[in-house]
Structure 1
């Protein structure tokens, strides 16, 4: 499916006024955003340590490509260097000597490049400002798609050309399990690391829904400090996110919703090695966190999860829970609502219900169905 989704980050990129390093995990749409929103004069891609690709798809030596960049900057223009993490650091001092002429936008498909560029010994320190590009916000996708489930999957741009529905993801899960491992391997390569079996096991376990580092350590039979250290490294690569909780322990999840579901299928059913008909994936948990993120922005707070009472979404402002939400894929019955109110009222005075099927009855202080979610998404996205 060929689809371009507008993103709030377009405004930031279109209004760039100084040298900027745009960074983030591979395949999150950085290049597409820059090409769509930025009016640049010169654009090159660093292919390897020796070669670059120009706007006209010509492969040239890096030195020749950088000469074109220099010429553009000296004339007060805007130049883009894509895949900046591949550019040998020997050229960094040369590039620094061109500042502050023009506007240079560097795109790096890794998080490690940030540490290098802004290291105290880097010749580029004090020249660039950083701009992170992560997953597409749920509100940006939902406001254009009007499909609350598919919008969760489309938050990670790499999956967009391949599927047009959640059912298609399930039907083609074997294909995507192979693609996903390749994508993860590519992320590791750009971060100058090796995707070992241990890292992959941790990702599979997280995808299966095991969120506590202590439990993960027990499953893969490693010391908890070692596992926690590896999870933190995965987080720095943009593959894993920390889940804030009202408890004492840290929880973690795979950041990308489609990647999380694919890893779940691989962990539970080994779909890459056999044909398996997957009737259902834990899409509900991905919906829970995506909607939770959107509601947290809407109310100006932070998203939390409360494992003790299993409350889907808690929104915290100034260290105080102000909202608790129950989120369901299907309808919410009166008995379910009453039980949820008992649990949620222990945490927050205001409680709400979200159903992707239809607007719930007036059980809580706020009751949201698909139409109401769409209105919130449009308001935030605009």
Structure 2
């Protein structure tokens, strides 16, 4: 699908008048944002530690590249250095001496770049402002695509050119499982780590829906047990691969940041899809939809998204300790009997309760009833508020 989604970051980048570092996991759309939203004068991609690649295709040594960047900035130009994490730190001091007449925009495909650029001993500290570019928010995609299911996948922009429907994604899941593993390997490389078997197995288990650190430790039998698993999960979180979601208990619920990677790794873990010629018919897309909607609906109600696996409640919106509202999310139709049962269950944890269905508007039994049309309206309202800020 040849689709370019509008993103809230575009206006800020279009009008940027200060030195900036864009950072985030690989393939979240940083370069596309730069090329679509910034009217730059000079653009270079760092190919490796010794040379860069100009838009013309010409390769240029780092020392010569920095001379050209210095000259451009002195003229007041707007300069972009992409894949900045590949620049050796010894050159940071050179950049710190560049003329501030121009605008320097750096883009780095890692979270580790933050530690380097904003270390207390970094020559660049105080000269550059950081901005994270995560995957696209669900409401941004949904407000433009108006497809609650496909919008979940299109949050990760690298998948957009490859598919036109969820069914096509499922049919080609072997391809996407191979790509996802390669992408994860690139993330580890940019973070200057190795994708060891223990890291990969953790990512596979999380994709299966296993989230308790004690259970993960028991399955993987790692040295150090639960403490080691907790440490590894924190590292995966800092790398932008895993996110922590609050629960009503003391534990965090762990999920993949990317719905695409989550589903791809699930297929690999469940069916060994990259090693076998097997047809996959079902993927746990319902969970990915649930969590995407949870993030969006929590913003709409002005609270934080909380999941309750113990009580089996899909979405709880909380403001600090106050439970604003709870929701049940279904991919298909919600019958009256199902609605009554869900309302009874959710009423035990929140005063207000609601129902969400991707197929039709649910029965008007709880406090709020949301169907696909209402989800799209909510997404448009949230985006309108962002634009007005």
Q: What does residue 153 of structure 2 align with?
A: 153
**RMSD over equivalenced CA pairs, Å:** 1.0
Q: Which runs of 4+ in 1 moved over 6 A?
A: none
5 Å-filtered alignment, 1:122-271, equals 122-222=122-222, 223-271=225-273
Moved more, 337-346 or 124-133: 337-346
State the partner residue of 2:36.
36
CA offsets 1:217-263 (integer angstroms, 9 cap, x no match)? 11111211111111111111110000111111121011100110111
**Which of these residues, 324, 329, 332, is aligned with residue 330 of structure 1?**
332
Query: Matched residue pairs, number?
Result: 382
Helix, strand or coil at the partner of 1:361: coil
What's the CA shift string for 1:184-209, capped at 9, x where partnerless?
10110000000011100000000001
- What CA distance in whole angstroms lies between the structure 2 residues aligned with 1:324 and 1:143? 23
Residue 72 of structure 1 corresponds to which residue in structure 2? 72
Residue 68 of structure 1, CA deviation? 2.0
Name the CA distance, whole Å, in 1 between partners of 2:316 and 2:94.
50
For 1:345, which of 339, 344, 347 is the aligned residue?
347
Aligned counterparts of 2:279 and 2:337: Cα–Cα separation in 1: 33
| 2:88 aligned residue | 88
**Partner Cα separation in structure 2 for residue 246 and residue 44 of structure 1:** 47
Distance in 1 of aligned mates of 2:249 and 2:12: 36
Partner of 2:281: 279
Provide the C-alpha distance between the structure 1 equivalents of 2:136 and 2:201, rounded to a whole number of angstroms: 26
* Offset at residue 64 of structure 1 (A): 2.0
Q: For 1:98-120, what per-residue CA distance to the aligned partner results, in whole angstroms no more than 9, with x for missing partners?
A: 15332111000000000110001
- Indicate the SS of the match to 2:39: coil
The whole-number CA distance in structure 2 between the counterparts of 1:314 and 1:99 is 50
Q: Deviations over 1:317-338 (max 9, x none)?
A: 1321101000000011111111
The 8 Å contact of residues 213 and 250 in structure 1, kept in 2 or not, is answered as no
Asked whether the equivalents of residues 358 and 370 of structure 1 are also in contact (C-alpha less than 8 Å), the reply is: yes
The question of whether the paired residues in 1 share the 8 Å contact of 2:83 and 2:108 is answered with: yes
Relative distance call for 1:365 and 1:77 in structure 2 (3 A) is same
* Secondary structure at 1:135 match in 2: coil
Q: Is the 8 A contact 1:330 1:355 kept in 2?
A: yes
Question: Which position in structure 2 is the counterpart of 1:290?
Answer: 292
8 A Cα contact 2:52 2:61, kept in partner: yes
What corresponds to 1:364 in structure 2? 366
How big is the shift at 1:282? 0.4
Deviates more, 1:107-116 or 1:331-340: 331-340
Compare 10-19 and 206-215 and name the one that shifted more.
10-19
C-alpha contact (below 8 Å) 1:327/1:355 kept by paired residues: yes
Q: List gaps (5 residues or longer) in structure 2.
A: 385-389
**In the alignment, is the contact (CA less than 8 A) between 1:54 and 1:65 conserved in 2?**
no
Work out whether residues 76 and 101 of structure 1, in 8 Å CA contact, stay in contact via their aligned partners in 2: yes
